[in-house]
Amino acid sequence: MGKVVLSLKHRPDEYSVLARVYDSDGSLVREEGFDHIKQVIIKAGEVRLSRQLSPEPIVIVVDAEKPSIMVKEGALLYICDEGAGKQ
């Protein structure tokens, strides 16, 4: 199972987000940055808030078979698992 690791830096009224996608072997597949994010919506089976990875920024780990990352309305960052429940 792959992972999406989100690093969130709080700014006044928004977040800057760095999303790193890893495959099931732990290799980095892609990295993408997003600015001016008002909300992060996560639709996946397991999500972990991991302080041990970094005290600042906040780091969230999302397990996903087939991760999808998209921005809607210019400020809503969606992290979804398109492979969830499919076999």
CA nearest to 22, candidates 52, 63, 53: 63
pTM of the model: 0.85
Per-residue pLDDT tens over the stretch 5-58: 999 998 889 999 999 999 999 999 999 999 999 999 999 888 988 766 666 788
Burial profile 62-87: b = 16 or more Cβ within 10 angstroms, e = fewer: bbbbebebeeeeeeebebbbeeeeee
